Amino acid sequence: MTKDRSFSAVMARKPEIMKSSVGIDYDLFESGRISFDYERMMKETGYSLQEIEEIQKETTVGNTPLYELRNITRLARRYSAPGKGARIFLKDEASNPSGSFKARRAATAVYHAQKLGYKGVIAATSGNYGAAVASQAAMRGLKCIIVQECYDSKGVGQPEIIEKARACEAYGAEVVQLSVGPELFYSFLLLLEDTGFFNASLYTPFGIAGVETLGYELSMEFREKEGRDPDAVMVTNAGGGNLTGTARGLVKAGALDTKVIGASVSLAGLHMASDTQFNKKSFTTGHTGFGIPFATWPDRSDVPRSAARPLRYMDRYVTVNQGSVFYMTELLAQVEGLERGPAGNTALAAAFVVAQEMDEDQIIVVQETEYTGAGKHINPQLTFAKENGIKILKGDPSQEIPGENIILPENPGMLCIEELDIEKTKKSYIRNCIKNTGVESVNREDLDFLVADTKSNEDFVREALEELGVKVETEEI
């Protein structure tokens, strides 16, 4: 009997499709009314950190170079107060086979798919993860399909997304390109169901555990080079997996005093699901359009429970404007001789500013770079922006209005960050937990879960619940 392929019917079958395509029964981890056993779910990867390192070594993933950006550090100190200006380091993840840290995620996911006997893998992504999955699938002899949100309703695609599609196809993957909107997830579910392939989601425990090696490597490298852990790690934040995996690796290394700072490109005012605004942004990842929604509701992802939960680990969250990231991309190339793509330069732009707040004997690390290519380079990106009516200006980056202009700083001293209220973000997450579960009261298990998921304390969570009119069942406490 042919299954109903209507949108509503396919969406109703989501739990069944996900269970068969990931090999995880997520119901096993459900516990309270809104809580689930996160650490138990993470252990379902079935691999220790050392085993993951061995898996990644099989396909030459990991053990990437660590550079001290001496020239950029000197430049930052020119704009710092006396005694300020931390040393800036860069972990060069562009050295991975597919040119980004996402090879770590893909290596573990594709290995697991092969181990379970799947004939192929599917991933829904418009970014570097698609190339990473395609590359790893090619190495392990599996088929690969990448589903990509690529075009607006006029059939116009962004240079960076088209470049990433080219990379996926170069590795032998079939790329299904779709327009912005709900058809992406619908098509993704249908493909999983029709092919029986493995869902190499960005948000499975397998994928996040693969990034833990990055944080662990960082700690081990600094202990060898400097005799201590870095003071801060700056992480480009989008869906949250980069930050979550890196932070978990740091924790496993015992680097408990290292501060984890998230950085995103500010695209305030642009709606990511808007057809008319889709091509008004000049960044396809690492921006607030992903960073904020996924931080405040991680389970919006393509699996029932996301393993990427950035608020569990984030100490601070800052944003930079689009023009500053383009500026930093050129600065890195011309001052340090490293031409890299825009995602890691988001964190680098933020680190340049944060380093000026820190003491000169402190260390801040930008934990990733990515490859650059024809569509990722700043020239086609700025040309595309102009074609879409965006003004390219020089001046004060804080005056940039996403969707209207891109403001390149007049000089390095004008780079700036905007501090996001992380406490407000945490309260937004708690509000979404209540809204999406519809509960009117929570028990002890839920309370403990919310404390852990927001890296806060019981008083903070109780206050947030009280503001929402949600009762904490005292008889269970």
Mean of the per-residue pLDDT values of the chain: 94
- C-alpha torsion 153→159→161→167, nearest 10: 140
More confidently predicted of 159 and 474: 159
Question: Which residues fall within 8 angstroms of residue 14, CB to CB, at 6 or more apart?
Answer: 189
Least confident of 265-274, 306-315, 336-345, 452-461: 265-274
- Return the amino acid letter for 247: A
The pLDDT tens digits for 166-191 are 999 999 999 999 988 778 888 999 99
3-state helix, strand, coil in the chain (%, to 5): 50, 15, 35
The pLDDT tens digits for 185-210 are 889 999 999 999 999 999 999 999 99
More confidently predicted of 427 and 19: 427
- How far apart CA 178 and CA 462 sit, in angstroms, is 43
Q: Residue 98: its pLDDT value, please?
A: 96
Element (H, E) at 120: strand 120-124
The pLDDT tens digits for 20-68 are 999 898 999 999 899 999 999 998 877 899 999 999 999 999 999 999 9
Least confident of 68-77, 283-292, 443-452, 458-467: 283-292
Name the nearest CA neighbour of 263 among 208, 314, 308, 218.
314
Using an 8 Å Cβ cutoff, are 248 and 233 in contact?
no
**Dihedral sign (CA 192, 198, 202, 208):** positive
| DSSP code of residue 419 | E
Question: Which residues fall within 8 angstroms of residue 101, CB to CB, at 6 or more apart?
Answer: 93, 211, 214, 242, 367, 368, 370
Helix (H, G, I), strand (E, B) or coil at 90: strand
Helix (H, G, I), strand (E, B) or coil at 284: coil
Using an 8 Å Cβ cutoff, are 186 and 176 in contact?
no
| DSSP code of residue 390 | P
Mean pLDDT along residues 119-138 = 94
The pLDDT tens digits for 219-233 are 999 999 999 999 999
More confidently predicted of 158 and 475: 158
In the predicted structure, residue 15 carries a pLDDT above the cut 80: yes
- How far apart CA 242 and CA 41 sit, in angstroms, is 18
Q: Residue 373: its pLDDT value, please?
A: 85
**Residue 442 C-alpha from the chain's centroid:** 30
Using an 8 Å Cβ cutoff, are 123 and 147 in contact?
yes
Q: Exposed, middle or buried by CB within 10 Å (0-12, 13-18, 19+), for 50?
A: exposed
In the predicted structure, residue 472 carries a pLDDT above the cut 80: yes
Using an 8 Å Cβ cutoff, are 416 and 397 in contact?
yes
pLDDT band at 475 (very low <50, low <70, confident <90, very high): low
CATH topology of domain 55-98+206-419: Rossmann fold (3.40.50)
Tokens of 221: 């490298």
Alpha helices in 297-421 (DSSP H): 322-336, 342-355, 378-387
List, as one string, the DSSP characters of 206-232: HHHHHHHHHHHHHHHHHHHHTSS--SE
The pLDDT tens digits for 284-323 are 889 999 999 999 999 998 888 999 999 999 999 999 999 9
The pLDDT tens digits for 235-272 are 999 999 999 999 999 999 999 999 999 999 999 998 87
Counted residue by residue, the chain has a size of: 477
List, as one string, the DSSP characters of 31-89: -SSS-B-HHHHHHTT---HHHHHHHHHHTT-S---EEE-HHHHHHHHHTSPTTB--EEE
Q: Residue 343: its pLDDT value, please?
A: 85
Expressed in angstroms, the distance from the first to the final Cα of the chain is: 51
In the predicted structure, residue 428 carries a pLDDT above the cut 70: yes
Q: Residue 476: its pLDDT value, please?
A: 45
Cα atoms found within 13 Å of the Cα of residue 37, Cβ hemisphere only: 11
**Residue 242 C-alpha from the chain's centroid:** 5
- In angstroms, what CA-CA distances link 355 with 28, 73, 348? 44, 8, 10
The pLDDT tens digits for 77-122 are 999 999 999 999 999 999 999 999 999 999 999 999 999 999 999 9
pLDDT band at 477 (very low <50, low <70, confident <90, very high): very low
